[in-house]
Amino acid sequence: MALNAGLACHGLRFGWPGEQGDDRILLQAVTAWFQPGRVSLVTGATGAGKSTLLHLLGGLLRPVAGEVRAEDQPVSRWPARHRDPWRRRVGMVFQHLALVPDLSVAENLLLPLVPRGMKWSAMQAAITRQLEAVELGQLAAKPVYTLSGGQRQRLAIARALVGAPRFVLADEPTAFQDDRQAARICAQMGAVARTGVVVVIGSHDPRLRNASEVDDRWHLAAGRLTAVGPPQAAP
């Protein structure tokens, strides 16, 4: 496998603007390589910065230093008019889901597809496929606010996957799920990764830590990301 494939970060440094104006450094010198075809899990205590890292990887935040390279392109340095279209290749599951509550389930899945220049039939097929995959096929026409928390989270996963992304970044994707659904989501992520996609999951859920589908394990603590389990070589 080419060393430059997948999603890599070099010396990533990031801090949220502090209250007194001084930046509190949350991530310092985070270096990692998330390979295509493998499921990577980032664990860490709440507040460790997992969500922040995923947003940095997905180009929603810009690092203060260091860079994110996607397929050897320095996407984190790109200005908005290049980064925004690149984001079509990223499927993001937000911790807070970020669904549009008054739209129906199917319409929420349509949102990422509208600007892509696809045909209607292709869009419909993709939506139906993803809804079946997360077991929401019956609820396609329901407005999102009528769904349960677990159903909404599965919908968020479907929305991340509906555009056939090259990079899937899932933030706590099993937080509201029962054991059966958690296992199914693990299997789904594994299946997606097998198609050559980079899958990065940020979670503190022990069910995920022990899942067999997870290939690489990372731990985030004190602003540093370390590989755990099978050792990882950085590019």
Contacting residues toward another protein, per CB under 8 A: 17, 52, 55, 58, 60-65, 73-74, 77-90, 92, 94-98, 100, 102-103, 107, 110-120, 123, 159, 163
Q: Is 50 in the site for ligand ADP (CB under 6 A)?
A: yes
Q: Is 58 in the site for ligand ADP (CB under 6 A)?
A: no
Q: Which is nearer to ligand ADP, 111 or 175 (CB)?
A: 175
Q: Is 43 in the site for Mg ion (CB under 5 A)?
A: no
Per-residue burial over 98-127, b = 16 or more CB atoms within 10 Å of its CB, e = otherwise: ebeeeebbbbbbbebbeeeeeeeeebeebb
Residues 221 and 53: beta-carbon distance below 8 Å: no
Q: Is 203 in the site for Mg ion (CB under 5 A)?
A: no
The least CB distance from residue 215 to another protein, in Å, is 26
Rounded Cα–Cα distance for residues 61 and 100 (Å) = 22
Q: Which is nearer to ligand ADP, 40 or 130 (CB)?
A: 40
| Token pair recorded at residue 174 | 């099993």
The least CB distance from residue 49 to another protein, in Å, is 12
Q: Which of 26, 118, 140, 227 binds ligand ADP (CB under 6 A)?
A: 26
Q: Which is nearer to Mg ion, 7 or 169 (CB)?
A: 169
List interacting residues with ligand ADP (CB under 6 A). 16, 26, 44, 46-52
